[in-house]
Amino acid sequence: MNKLNIDFAFEGFRIIRQKPSAILFWGIILLIFNGGSMYALAALAGDALTGFDPQSSDPQAILSLYAKMAPAYAIIMPLAILQHAILSCAVYRGVLGETNSSFGWLRFGGAELRQILLMIIFFFLFIALYIGVVLAATIVGGLVAFALGLVSQNLAFVGIVVGVLVAIGAIFLIMTRLSLFGVQSFDQKKINLFGSWKLTAGNGWALFWGYVIMAIMILLVYLLCMVIFTVVAIVMSGGNFAAMQPIFSGNLNVDMFLQPLYIAYMLVLNLLVMPLMMALSLGAPAAAYKQLIGSTKAKVENVF
């Protein structure tokens, strides 16, 4: 059994250093898909989102909002799945040693189609897993609450805390152990949902802490880029701090896509920030997989 070195968390930086132009190609994909998704959301549900009170607890108002957002998400979800499949395969090729790095390893073929199917299957598996874990945690928490309640009613709340912690811990454990299903299925050229569980045996904590480091780096990359963009935008607007308000207000409308500042924000976000974040988030599990299979160069499908 190969032991996992936690430096897999830094794989995204290595890929970008190896192939800096990949940022541009991935960014174009992200700009097209994310820009299209945001425009669809603004055009089809912008008015509903702008007029909705986030503090509202009115079930009718919430259902009305969901109904108005449904057409937008009918467009956004397929785009998100397709985008993720294309970019994840590109990153996997880079990490696993694909020598043909043209267009940032971007292709579209059987590998991407398998990733699409894999994500759909995994979505329903996750829902079933979540329900099962919550039910089990509720039973455990209820038993603990009952036992402690016999001693003191004031201690019964501990059962709720135990139940929540059991649920969160179980979901984190299971998802960490199964986190290599995407790259493993890509490498093996078949749907493999559970092979990751056996592959990661004995390396759960290393994976967990590696993902924690990866998440911190993603957060730092995002914050640093957004701080720099905000400072530059404020300076360019003559020190007007209110200039950034439309971008971060949460309000959406199609007119925003004609505003120079919003256009600049979308370009920076999708052509620079998001590709870096994708490299980190997808590169880490791919590098962990490469370490665990004990291969210096995995077999990778080259689909045109």
- Non-local (6+) Cβ contacts of 146 within 8 A are 156, 159
**pLDDT in the model for residue 193:** 86
Task: Select, from the ranges 19-28, 134-143, 169-178, the one with the highest average predicted confidence (pLDDT).
Answer: 19-28
**pLDDT in the model for residue 90:** 95
Mean pLDDT of 289-304: 58
Q: What is the mean pLDDT of the chain?
A: 83
Tokens 């390396």 map to which residue? Answer: 203
The predicted model scores a pTM of 0.81
Q: What is the 3-state secondary structure (H, E, C) of the chain?
A: CCCCCHHHHHHHHHHHHHCCCHHHHHHHHHHHHHHHHHHHHHHHHHHHHHHCCCCCCCHHHHHHHHHHHHHHHHHHHHHHHHHHHHHHHHHHHHHHCCCCCHHHHCCCCHHHHHHHHHHHHHHHHHHHHHHHHHHHHHHHHHHHHHHHHHHCHHHCHHHHHHHHHHHHHHHHHHHHHCCCHHHHHHHHCCCCCCHHHHHCCCCHHHHHHHHHHHHHHHHHHHHHHHHHHHHHHHHHCCCCHHHHHHHHCCCCCHHHHHCHHHHHHHHHHHHHHHHHHHHHHHHHHHHHHHHHCCCCCCCCCCCC
Mean pLDDT of 170-193: 90
**pLDDT in the model for residue 285:** 94
**Domain layout of the chain by residue ranges:** 6-292
* Tens-place pLDDT, residues 38-59: 888 888 777 766 666 556 566 7
Task: Tell me the pLDDT band of 299, cut-offs 50, 70 and 90.
Answer: very low
**pLDDT in the model for residue 249:** 65
Task: Tell me the pLDDT band of 67, cut-offs 50, 70 and 90.
Answer: confident
Own/partner pairs for 199-202, CB < 8 Å, 24+ apart? 199/289, 199/292, 199/293, 200/4, 200/176, 200/288, 200/292, 201/1, 202/1, 202/3
**pLDDT in the model for residue 121:** 92
* Tens-place pLDDT, residues 220-275: 999 999 889 888 888 877 776 666 766 766 667 787 788 888 888 889 999 999 99
**pLDDT in the model for residue 164:** 78
